[in-house]
Amino acid sequence: MEDTNGKKILYLLASRAVKPARFIEIYRSNNGDLEKTLKFFLKYKALKLKFEDDEENPGISSGDGIFSTEAVNCTAGKGVGLLDIGQDSYPDILKNIYSPPPLLFFKGDKIKEAKFCIAVVGSRKCTAYGKEAARYISKNLSRMGITVVSGVAIGVDSCAHEAALGEKGGTIGVLGCGIDIIYPPENKYLYENIPENGSIVTEFIPGTPPLKSNFPVRNRIISGLCKGTVVIEAGEKSGAIITGEMALRQNREVFAVPGNIFNAMSRGCHWLIKNGAKLVEKVDDILEEFTIYSERILKSSEGCRGSSKQAANSEIQKGLTAGESRVYEFLGYRPKSVEEIVRDIKMDVREVLRILTLLEIKKLIREDSFNKYSRLF
């Protein structure tokens, strides 16, 4: 692979003698000339890179030797590519953020091709509603050829990836650890499936463990890759809120999906909305903000936008039996317990339980917490 610049940057960073931020600083002061930047660093004798002497057996003579050999071994073969900031395929939109990563590791080529990305992020500990919303929005975005970017975490993230994967736009997962490390382990299937119609991307050198401090750093790439960030179900101090704030700082659009006012998991989203984020009900709400793109996109995807679900549901409601609609009518958007249902509509508990299962199968209601139900639509 003719990618010596990328390798050089890798050695520099792996040696830990140069921090990415310092690299970008010098890179920018050289007006984006990568050759010059590299020369600048090589001027230091201490940083004499071994690969200059020995093309066959590259490595680094100073710094942490183990770290660097591991890094080299991991990128060789195994389908891991290097994308340095000097390359044309490095996303322009990411170049523009305050501190872009000088080097990206990736699996799957989507990162080079994706023109229009939207981030879909949210809580790991989300409710059924959050998952539903993540799937709904990601699927429809991807269907229109928009790439959905998220953080490969459990909860909202994995739902977003999963839903977007099957459609045109594909998905990009940004990691908070080295590309050779599968974290969280539950999402192994995403690591395997995403490269088929998307990319797994990270700025962290192979072998980097998923440290707590990595994730806020990673979040700037998620928002940086995207023209807008959609936040679904975030607690008051969650990482998704940080991503939203990053997006604002990077001058990108921030969207938030509203939730139940009684649910603590919606606090963060509501806070964002109060502070100016756009409320999202359907995909059109997102597209409206990007007129240049949406014109084209709308044309190409006639009829497959998320049609108003509400209309369809009144149809479903007509198909309910008397008992079912009684329970459905009684349930509101505030969760109600089985006790309340039994007591207030004076129905036998057996009957109530049966109806609750049926309505749940019909996807009209959901269980919010133990034995407490509310309407989904």
Partner 1 sequence: MFFKLHSFTLIGIDALDVCVEVHISRGMPEFIIVGLPGKAVNESRQRVRSAIINSGFDFPIKKIIVNLSPADIKKDGSFYDLPIAISILAVSGQIKSGVFKGSYFIGELSLDGSINPVRGLISMAERVSSSGGKYFFVPYSIADQASFIPGIKIIACKNLLEVAEALSGGTQIERFIYKNTGTRGQSSCSNLDFKDVKGQFKAKRALEIAASGRHNIILMGPPGSGKTMLAQRAVSIMPELELKECIEVTKIYSLYQKYINCLIRQRPFRNPHHTVSRMGLIGGGVVPKPGEISLAHKGLLFLDEFSQFPANLIEDLRQPLENRKVIITRNNMSYSFPCNFMLIVATNPCYCGYFGDGSRKCICSLREVKKFWKKMSGPIMDRIDMRVTVARLPESSFIKTEDSEGSDNIRERVKKCMIIQKERFEDEDISYNSEIGNNVINQWLKSSKKIRDLIYTISKKYRLTARGMVSILKVSRTIADLEESGIIKESHIIEAVQYRVGYNQDSLT
Q: Smaller CB distance to partner 1: residue 36 or 334?
A: 334
125 binds partner 1 (CB under 8 A): yes
CA distance 283 to 163: 14
Residues in the chain: 377
132 binds partner 1 (CB under 8 A): no
Torsions phi, psi for 49 (to 5 deg):
-85, 140
358 binds partner 1 (CB under 8 A): yes
Q: Smaller CB distance to partner 1: residue 36 or 363?
A: 363
The beta strand positions in the chain, using DSSP E, are 81-84, 103-107, 117-122, 147-150, 171-174, 198-202, 228-232, 253-257, 278-279, 336-337, 365-369, 372-375
Q: Smaller CB distance to partner 1: residue 100 or 335?
A: 335
Which of 66, 211, 264, 312 lies at the binding interface for partner 1 (CB under 8 A)? 264
345 binds partner 1 (CB under 8 A): no
Which of 128, 182, 217, 248 lies at the binding interface for partner 1 (CB under 8 A)? 128
155 binds partner 1 (CB under 8 A): yes
Residue linked to tokens 């997102």: 286
325 binds partner 1 (CB under 8 A): no
Helices 4-14, 65-75: inter-axial angle, 10-degree rounding: 150
370 binds partner 1 (CB under 8 A): yes
335 binds partner 1 (CB under 8 A): yes
DSSP 109: T
248 binds partner 1 (CB under 8 A): no
CA distance 106 to 90: 11
Q: Smaller CB distance to partner 1: residue 216 or 323?
A: 323
CA distance 300 to 278: 25
Which of 285, 338, 345, 377 lies at the binding interface for partner 1 (CB under 8 A)? 338
Q: Smaller CB distance to partner 1: residue 279 or 349?
A: 349
Segment interacting with partner 1, rule: CB under 8 A, options 10-18, 39-47, 220-228, 338-346: 338-346
Residue linked to tokens 């039996």: 321
The count of chain residues that interact with partner 1, using the rule CB under 8 A, is 31
Residues with Cβ < 8 Å from 244, sequence gap 6 or more?
121, 223, 229, 231, 234, 254, 256, 272, 277
Helices 4-14, 34-42: inter-axial angle, 10-degree rounding: 40
Segment interacting with partner 1, rule: CB under 8 A, options 201-209, 282-290, 293-301, 363-371: 363-371
DSSP string, 294-315: HHHHHHHTTT-S---HHHHHHH
- Minimum separation from the CB atom of position 336 to partner 1 (A): 9
Which of 59, 184, 216, 306 lies at the binding interface for partner 1 (CB under 8 A)? 184
Q: Residue 62: how many CB atoms within 10 A of its CB?
A: 16
306 binds partner 1 (CB under 8 A): no
Binding region for partner 1 (CB under 8 A): 124-125, 127-128, 154-155, 184, 264, 335, 337-340, 342-343, 349-350, 352-354, 356-358, 360-361, 367-372
